[in-house]
Homo-oligomer: A and B are copies of this chain.
Amino acid sequence: MTIPPAQDRLHAQLAFAMEIDKLRRVVRRNTLMDGSRRENDAEHSWYVGMLAMVLAEHAPPGTDIGKVVAMLLVHDIVEIDAGDTFIYDTPAVEVQLDVERKAADRIFGLLPDDQAGRLRALWDEFEERRTPEAKFAKALDRIAPIMANHHNEGGTWSLYKVTAEQVLEKVKIIEEGSPTLGEYATELIALSVSRGHLARA
């Protein structure tokens, strides 16, 4: 590995910058909080990054929030190649990881090696969900659609016939990242069920 001169580094960084602009055109199943349209991956990444800053105190003490923010800004970039997978579509979720790894190789690989390695490591850490930072980041990624569906009388839950039991399964991931947020998500789900916006199996 050679370290390219400054000008080459800048050009590689700009090539990456042009490429990741495409994340704005990856549309997710989930909607804005007001249900007015489906969200794209770029604005979703901003939103969960902001949640990390604002909900930081509900992460375990010692969690590096700057790292959580960086992880969340990067976490969906692989979807430029791999597309969005609906988390309740289990067969799709299983093949997805391989496609996403190839996407990570290609897209982070546009950067100078040292930076490619750092962003790839951040994405791997997020996916492995072993560190407090990755667990908290994943919790935020999971709670945002629950908030939106709760505020939209069921939203994508109704649309795709997702049950309360399936949503509660995802709440375990939120609890692992933040017990307080896990509790809050459980309350939202119970409320949605009691209002008839989320069906039991």
Contacts and interface: CB of A to CB of B under 8 A. Distances in A.
Interface string A4-33: 001001100110111011111100000011
A69 B58 contact: no
A151 B19 CA distance: 12
A46 interface: yes
A42 B32 CA distance: 11
Contacts of A32: 21, 24-25
Interface residues of A, number: 45
A47 interface: yes
B42 A46 contact: yes
Interface in A36-50: 36, 39-40, 42-43, 45-47, 49-50
A165 B52 CA distance: 41
A23 B46 CA distance: 10
Interface in A47-89: 47, 49-51, 53-55, 57-58, 66, 69-70, 73-74
B25 A49 contact: no
Contact of A50 (B34, B39, B57, B73): B73
Contact of A10 (B42, B58, B111): B58
A50 B17 contact: yes
A115 B36 contact: no
* Most-contacted residue by chain B among A43, A57, A58 (CB, 10 A): A43
A131 interface: no
A147 interface: yes
A180 interface: yes
A33 B18 CA distance: 7
* Most-contacted residue by chain B among A14, A17, A46, A73 (CB, 10 A): A46
29 contacts: A13-B55, A14-B184, A16-B54, A17-B54, A17-B55, A17-B147, A18-B147, A18-B151, A21-B32, A21-B33, A22-B34, A24-B39, A24-B43, A25-B32, A25-B36, A40-B43, A42-B46, A43-B43, A43-B46, A46-B46, A46-B73, A49-B49, A49-B73, A53-B70, A66-B66, A66-B69, A66-B70, A69-B70, A69-B73
